[in-house]
Amino acid sequence: MNTKIYKAIKEILRRDRNCKANEIDYENAKVILKNDKEAILLDVRSPQEYKEEHLEGSINIPIYDLTKMSKNIIQNKKSTIIVYCQSGNRSKKAIEELTKEGYESLYDIKGGLDNI
């Protein structure tokens, strides 16, 4: 993907900031990850679920450890963070927690792994 497409997607998502996180599909998540080398793909499921199946390049911080561990693992609060879980429920909760912690550029893969 070229940089123009990436910038266009970021602009569309930026305009839709009336919600806490922008829901994106996996295809748009891949574009962001390809073009932003510092973007983080975050799996908030349990370690067992992560071990069984996960998206390549993701890091695992279970939702129940998110507040405690995020500060150590994701130090730059301006980093682009793309969050997913199995169905989208835990990732929405994770977005809320990360927002409270001051993280700014948050995206939720709509429907989680069930939708990929």
Residues known to be catalytic: 85
Q: How far is CA 8 from CA 13, 30, 68, 102, in A?
A: 9, 14, 34, 25
Residue-wise DSSP of 51-70: HH---TT-EE--GGGHHHHH
- CA 112, CA 102: separation in Å to the nearest integer? 23
Give yes or no for a contact between 110 and 82, defined as CB atoms under 8 angstroms apart.
no
